[in-house]
Amino acid sequence: MNKLLKAIANRQARGATTMAHAGPGGWLYEVFRKYFQGSSIDWELEAGRVYGNSTVGSVINFKARAARSATVRFEQLDPKSGKWVPSTGSTLPAAVIALLRKPNAFYSWDALIHGLILSWDVKGNGYVRKIRSGSGKILELYWVHWDKIKASAERDPSGQTLLTHYYYSGPDGRRVEWEIADVIHVRHGLDPEQPHLGLAPLASAMREIVTENHALNWTGVTVKNQGRPSFIVMPKVMEGSVLAAISDKIGRLKEYIQQFTGDRRGDGAEFPIPVDIVVPNWKPTDVELSALRKMSIDSICANLGVSAKVVDLPTEEQTFNNKEEAVDFAGKQTIIPMLDSILDQISHQILGDFGIDPDKFRLAWNYDEVWWLIDDAAKKDERHRANWQAGGLDLWRYKELIGEKPVPSDKGVTYFDLQARSRPVSLPNDTTKKEVSPRALAMVRKSLGFAPTKAKPSTIVANTYQTEHDRLIVASNKRLKTLVDKLGKGDLDKLEFARAYSDELRKLHKALYDVGVLAGGGTIDDAASTLHAQQVVDLEQTFIQGLISDVKNGVYDDEDGVFDPTHGALNQRVGWYAQKSSASATQGFVDASGVGEEWDWDLNGAVEDHCQDCPYLAENSPYTTETLYVTPRDCSTPCGGNCKCRLVRRSDGQAGFNPAPLP
């Protein structure tokens, strides 16, 4: 009972938020948990602000700096392989991109991740508050301190539900209930005694943190006190009457002596009375603080998954030969798993707010250019070089893999070709291309994770869904023109037009994506096509507002200042919206074909009518699904929605879609 009363007093002394119940999540439950360790000391209370410890702070700051070098990308789950791949058919809504750049008006995404890493290591639970608009859309994200929020299951008296809501303690001390949907809760594993919470990596290192704090405090105070322990001032033996007369001076001797520290060390001192100053025969080196500190530092760092060598702290650990090895190990074994788990949990708790299925899409980190994996990049370059010299890659692909920009003349040029060209003239003039056996080529491509190279089909198979593709685009083009006509004549206001125009485009992109899936041999997934259409139209909103502005500002008026619905530039602009929707059909075609397919960029027989990019894309075919960074009429090439090209699937010669014949 004394232990319990002491714990209650300790909590009150530090102003801790208390819950009124004794079940999981309640303060009474936490009190008893602390003393199951066979100790009467509240080590968590003794440790204080854990992140104020220099070792803890050094490691957390290192992790946060490492996180800044990684970027976020959008991935989708490939249904055939079950692997996550870069998203090609869908893009992040602009609102999500804006949140990733600037979660709120006060700090950046990097700062938010730093806060979550801090919460992850110190408390095992990180919280982010979603600030919504009146319509429920997420506007901002704010990190929340763990002492201000409490996960609770009180709404379910049966105890069957782990979590029903959160309590937030505001600045005024009042508790506010937050719904689960309004909080992003990131957990480090789970607490076996409170499964609705995570368990901090530092939970078992409180003794070591207290030890390190006391060691540093002792060192600091000792140095402050002239670099040695306390002294004893002993007045020499005097008569009682004399001693009584100078008793007030004796009380000020200690203060007087302490003036001769810091910059005044070595100055002479004059004492008003005869004294003996006795310093105990004891040195700071008599206490093995160095070994003691190394033990606590190594234990703290081990709990945080990082060697003390990484942050240049004293250590007895001999696992790594140098700092570079320690950093590499920390990056692969601790930082990457930590960042992946944090972002995966964020994805599952935020993408649904934007109409994205978190089971099919996710936010993921891109570690390709992080400084703490630079050795891996060098090793990859060595492997690419070995494969190039073995003849498994042509010069175009080799340059692409090592980050150089290839030129059309590199296509099909092998290492052996260049070797032959560099031979002296006296040697036989043998510059024929050295063929690599299909088996060797297949082995090299497999080692790189590429699909086996397929021969280019001799004939192109016509797309039987082309007619339906054309019908949808032509019909939608007419409806889009009708809406613009109503806007110009005042039959629709700006808001009504924007909604109607967006709805028409959304239906068109969804229908065309479904047609593409059927052409690719797949099965229509209504949720996937709906999501694709919504994301495309989200990106069109800026351009739609530009169209509204131009119509209202008289850009398409005739000479008399009257809106002209037959204006040539206007018809071309509306036709552009309809025609570039063809890219959704092509995307559905590609997505339904799977990630192992290869594609040729086909100029469709009219080289003279193409922009400068399309012949280059055709010359450097084939592309895999991973390397196909552009599709015809998706406006990534200068010809935009007027692109006349199509994709051809290498496995069977199946053609993609031609542009629709608009009037």
Say whether 662 sits in a helix, a strand or coil.
coil
Distance CA(233)–CA(226), nearest Å, equals 15
Distance CA(327)–CA(320), nearest Å, equals 10
φ, ψ (nearest 5 deg) of residue 645: -80, 175
pLDDT of residue 351: 92
Task: Give Dmax over CA atoms of the chain in angstroms.
Answer: 123
pLDDT exceeds cutoff 60 at 62: yes
> What is the length of the chain?
663
125-132 and 183-187 as β-strands: parallel, antiparallel, unpaired?
antiparallel
pLDDT of residue 206: 82
Average confidence score pLDDT of the chain: 77
Percentage of the chain beyond pLDDT 90 is 19
pLDDT exceeds cutoff 90 at 472: yes
Average pLDDT over residues 101-125: 92
**Tens digits of residue pLDDT in 177-206:** 999 999 999 999 988 888 889 998 888 788
Name which of 317-321, 366-370, 428-432, 459-463 the model is least confident about.
428-432
Q: Which residue is associated with the tokens 């500002």? A: 553
For 249-355, strand residue ranges (E) read: 275-278
Average pLDDT over residues 390-399: 74
Among 210-224, 311-325, 384-398, 500-514, the range with the most confident prediction by mean pLDDT is 500-514
Q: Would the pTM of this model clear 0.75, i.e. be above it?
A: no
Percentage of the chain beyond pLDDT 70 is 73
**Residues 198/189, Cβ–Cβ less than 8 Å:** yes
pLDDT exceeds cutoff 80 at 348: yes
**Residues 245/239, Cβ–Cβ less than 8 Å:** no
Q: Supply 193's token pair.
A: 């005694």
Task: Name the burial class of residue 608, with classes exposed (0-12), middle (13-18) and buried (19+) by CB atoms within 10 angstroms of its CB.
Answer: exposed
**Tens digits of residue pLDDT in 545-603:** 888 888 888 888 888 788 888 887 788 888 888 888 999 999 999 988 877 788 888 88
pLDDT exceeds cutoff 80 at 373: no
Which DSSP helix (H) or strand (E) runs through 58? helix 54-68
pLDDT band at 657 (very low <50, low <70, confident <90, very high): very high
Task: Name the burial class of residue 111, with classes exposed (0-12), middle (13-18) and buried (19+) by CB atoms within 10 angstroms of its CB.
Answer: middle
pLDDT exceeds cutoff 70 at 255: no
Task: Name the burial class of residue 621, with classes exposed (0-12), middle (13-18) and buried (19+) by CB atoms within 10 angstroms of its CB.
Answer: middle
pLDDT of residue 243: 57
pLDDT exceeds cutoff 90 at 272: no
Q: Supply 204's token pair.
A: 């078992």
pLDDT of residue 423: 41
Q: Report which of 507, 509, 513, 508 is spatially closest to residue 587, judged by C-alpha positions.
A: 513
**Tens digits of residue pLDDT in 442-456:** 555 555 555 555 556
Question: What single-letter amino acid sits at 14?
Answer: R
The dihedral through the CA atoms of 618, 621, 625, 626 has a sign that is negative
Q: Report which of 121, 59, 123, 72 is spatially closest to residue 98, judged by C-alpha positions.
A: 72
Distance CA(227)–CA(409), nearest Å, equals 73
